Amino acid sequence: MTPPTHTPQRSIGAARGAAALCVLGAALGLGTCSLATPSAAGDAVALGIASLGLEIFLACVALGLALLSPLSLRTRLGLGPGRLSGAVLALLVLGTLALSQALDGIIEVLGLHQQSALAEFESTLAGASGWPLAVALVGVGLGPGIGEELLCRGLVQRGLEPRLGTLPAVLIAALFFGALHLEPVHAVFAGILGVYLGVVAVLAGSTRAAILCHSINNLAAVLYAARFPELTRPGVAGIAFALALAAACLLVARRAVPATSPAPLPTQEPSADGPI
């Protein structure tokens, strides 16, 4: 049996690296947010820049805290290739979009839309094009898909799964994901979407799948708000259809998971000299 690889010296180095990354993330995040000047407040550029600053910070926190693990960043955050085919991943993306539309419809049917941050988000992006739209696509579309997934599905969910089991890990990560959205209405429905993304990550055996689904969903939301603000949200029938489609996509993906799936996240990687 080889000695543990997580020595005190390595622990100290990892802690320093984690602290440095968190500080760097805070500096970069605040620096980026400062570019969203008060004169630009409320427009698509300011929204995109502010969102990008926050997501840079969240990504650095996830990477920094992952350094405290004896596992590599790739393993700890689930950034390796998944076990699902491209066609199944495309189906999961479709399911994510369907669920997002269903949730938007539910918010509208319940009369909560104007009370939520979503109304301000849509009014800010309405009619955006060119440079403002490009900034919004990066900051609001791609940024959260990477930063929030590294933190919620990568760091939190994968960290809890070996200790609590899959379902509690997915639910806790989804609650945390919802809480990041602060505003109550948005937080509740983001939490529901977070459960879906958590299941996607479990089925794929990789956080990459959740990053893909989240990013495409947000990119679609930005384009939808900017270019098609006049389109109505689904009614009751449309909501039911979208929910059924999202569930069907998960079911098909579940059946596509290979019988010989990779083992759960280990607590420590074997050393180069042999098994632990």
Walking along the chain (276 residues) 10 residues at a time, the average pLDDT comes out as: 54 76 81 70 82 93 91 93 94 97 93 83 87 93 96 96 96 96 90 97 97 97 88 89 97 88 47 34
CA dist 112 and 250 (Å) reads: 28
d(CA 197, CA 180): 15
Spatial distance between the Cα atoms of 133 and 241, rounded to a whole number of angstroms: 30
Q: How far is the C-alpha of 155 from the C-alpha of 137, rounded, in Å?
A: 25
- What gap in Å lies between CA 58 and CA 182, rounded to an integer? 15
Question: Which tokens hold the place of 50?
Answer: 């502010």
Listed residue (105, 107, 95) closest to 183, CA to CA: 107
Q: CA 15, CA 272: separation in Å to the nearest integer?
A: 23
Tokens of 67: 């350094």
DSSP letter string, 27-59: HHHHHHHHTS-GGGTTSHHHHHHHHHHHHHHHH
CB atoms < 10 A from the CB of 272, how many? Answer: 7
Answer whether 176's CB lies under 8 Å from 156's CB. yes
CA distances from 11 to 65, 75, 93 (A): 12, 18, 38
**Distances from the Cα of 175 to the Cαs of 73, 142, 196, 207, in angstroms?**
24, 21, 12, 17
For the four alpha carbons of 175, 165, 197 and 268, in that order, the dihedral sign comes to: positive
Encoding tokens for residue 89? 């991943």
> What pLDDT shows up at residue 62?
93
CA distance linking residue 142 with residue 117, whole number of Å: 19
What pLDDT does 260 receive?
61
Q: What's the pTM value of the predicted model, to 2 decimals?
A: 0.88
Helix axes 117-125, 44-66, angle to 10 degrees: 120
pLDDT value, residue 7:
62
The dihedral over CA atoms of 179, 182, 185, 188, expressed in degrees to the nearest 10, equals 0
pLDDT at residue number 196: 98
